[in-house]
Amino acid sequence: MTQRKPAAIFIFITLLLDVLGFGLLIPVAPSLMASLLVDPVTGVQGMPVEAATPYVGWLQATFYACMFLFAPLLGALSDKFGRRPVILFSLFGSGLDYLAMALAPTIGWLFVTRVVNGITGASFGVASAYVADVTEPKDRHKAYGMIGAAFGIGFVLGPLMGGWLGSINIHYPFYAAAALTLCNWLYGFFVLPESLPKERRSGFSLAKANPVGMLPMLAKYPTIVWMAGSLFLLNLAQFGLHATWAVYTEHRYKWDAMHVGMSLFVVGIGAAIVQGGLARKLIPKLGLRASLLFGIALGCVAYAAYGLATQGWMIYAIVAIASIGGIAQPAGQSIVSQTALPTEQGAVQGALQSLNSIAGICGPVIGSQLLDRAIHGGLPVEAGPGFHFLVCSLFATGGLVLAVMATRGMKKGSAEGPQAA
């Protein structure tokens, strides 16, 4: 395919702009929610940000629940009709949703917008399938590393821009996200080529579109079953960390919002450097299996270290370890994509995104509940305020065990995963 390299660049830019739009909202979403809450005593709309804390978890759960339900459907539709129309539909829907969030008059309306965004935001699996379509199997770890870099850059610039715009008006980041996403849709409409030729498309089936029905399909690939379990546990830990990062660092190290934002900036820079550059050099040298296991092992250490760190400066040293561990993500994605048949890439990636959505529902709840109990005395004093990070380390350790099982048949140093039967 002569358009392979340009197409990979197009999807990188598309994902970068998409993540940038999402990142704009991170600093101001709780404030927007608080502004829509009604004081039960006075009946006046508008409450302190702390009052929005329980709603933030439910809002995130709503978003990921919809992603869980619709990711396999979008993946199956992309196998039938092509990747391009599904990606464009998702971008257009997300752009309108951000605009609706900016104009939301009540907290209930905000939940409606999260339902819509959960549906349209379920296209990451389709984007991953797009990458598999336009790259050779031996080069997919590089392409998936660039996806990781897009997420890293987006989550670096997005929160910084969102914080600045939000300091002027809490609605401005939502308008900016809508404009950015709709411009991204226009860019894709005129530039993004279709990656899946008609002769490689498969028929649509309810089994592929059903988030529960995906399990028998994944069973065709024992390697992917083990990898799916591993990625689920790793994502469970990651979502638990994301949901509690700001509250934990403020509570334990007395960080302010600027300090929290700076730490996220460093995390994003690390992800961009490792997944956008270092991973492309390390994975061919180490092989997919060694890269996957080494990266997960570093993650296990990093989670435990987060929980045990007694000084705020230690966090930055741990971020460096966790960033290098990021090579596990492109290595794991590459193994999965090389195992699945070309006609089932969309369904497989959609199924994995559904499992990721379940982790997105459960991880924040587990992490925030454990942190809340640690802060307010619901756990033994010996557990410490970072107990939830130790639990995340246990999740990651379970993911490491399953990854060992998934890759036990791979040759040492192999740059290619198990091939589809």
Q: How far is CA 398 from CA 10, 46, 79, 185, 293, in A?
A: 36, 43, 32, 39, 12
Quickly tell me which residue has 């109990």 as its tokens: 373
CA distance 80 to 201: 5
Rounded CA gap, 348 and 420, in Å? Answer: 12
- Domain spanning 4-194+208-406: which CATH class is it, in words? mainly alpha
CA distance 352 to 218: 9
The token pair at 165 is 């715009």
Beta-bridge partners for 45: 38
Task: Give the pLDDT of residue 387.
Answer: 92
How far apart, in whole angstroms, are the C-alpha atoms of residue 34 and residue 351?
34
Per-residue confidence (pLDDT) for residue 46, from 0 to 100? 85
Distance CA 397, CA 331 (A): 17
Cα separation, 389 vs 176, in Å, equals 34
Task: Write down the pLDDT at residue 2.
Answer: 45
Q: What are phi and psi of 171, to 5 degrees?
A: -85, -20
CA distance 147 to 400: 22
Q: How far apart are CA 150 and CA 234, in angstroms?
A: 20
pLDDT on residue 1? 43
Residue type, 137: P
**Per-position DSSP letters for 280-328, written without gaps between them:** HHHHHHH-HHHHHHHHHHHHHHHHHHHHH--SHHHHHHHHHHHHHGGGH
Q: How many CA atoms lie within 13 A of 179 on its CB side?
A: 7
Per DSSP, the residues of 332-363 read HHHHHHHHS-GGGHHHHHHHHHHHHHHHHHHH
User: Each residue's pLDDT tens digit in the chain (421 positions)?
Assistant: 445 556 677 778 778 877 787 777 776 777 787 788 888 888 888 877 656 666 777 787 788 888 888 877 888 888 888 888 998 998 899 899 999 999 999 989 999 998 988 888 766 778 778 888 878 777 777 777 777 777 777 877 887 787 778 878 888 888 998 998 898 899 888 888 888 888 777 777 666 677 766 666 777 888 888 999 999 999 999 988 887 787 788 778 887 767 777 787 788 788 878 876 788 888 888 889 999 999 999 999 999 999 999 999 999 999 999 999 989 988 888 888 888 887 777 778 777 877 887 898 898 888 888 887 787 777 776 677 889 999 999 999 999 999 999 988 776 555 555 554 4
Whether 318 contacts 299, CB under 8 Å: no
Q: How far apart are CA 29 and CA 111, in angstroms?
A: 12
CA distance linking residue 157 with residue 173, whole number of Å: 12
Burial of residue 408 (number of CB atoms within 10 Å: 0-12, 13-18, 19+): exposed
Kindly state the DSSP code that residue 271 receives in the 8-state scheme: H
